[in-house]
Amino acid sequence: MIKKNAHSACTPETCDVRVVHLDRVARAKAEAIAEKELDRLALTYKIMGDPTRLKIIMALRGGEMCVCDIAAFVGLSESAVSHQLRRLRELSLVRSRRDGQILYYTLDDKHVLELVTIGLHHIKE
């Protein structure tokens, strides 16, 4: 079923005529994810959207690094990097392992790498 209303305020981002395709709206509602999951997904992209955190994620694509390594790579203090790593760890984007006195970080799983890879492919199109 289609619901139509005359509407003449045309912009490049809107239709020339206001038409609501109720079947498409119903499909989108049926496929929608829970609000809690939506919030978590939005937060994940927000956290990854910070340039420093994204640099850290990109550095970890090649394998694990300690805080000292990451700080040298991004050009920040170890304290600042540690703060960023905490945010990434809270969302399960990175994980750590201790080897004696050294704490190593790595991407939490292959999905984090896939998110970055897909984003890179998208911007290079």
- Does 35-124 carry CATH code 3.30.1330.30? no
Which two structure tokens, joined as six digits, stand for 46?
């927000």
- The residue ranges of every structural domain in the chain are 2-31, 35-124
pLDDT at residue 4 above 80?
no
pLDDT of 22 strictly over 90: yes
- The pLDDT tens digits for 52-100 are 999 999 999 999 999 999 999 999 999 999 999 999 999 999 999 999 9
Q: Are 93 and 108 in contact (CB under 8 A)?
A: yes
Measured distance CA(121)–CA(109) in Å, rounded = 19
Tell me the C-alpha distance between 32 and 38, whole Å.
9
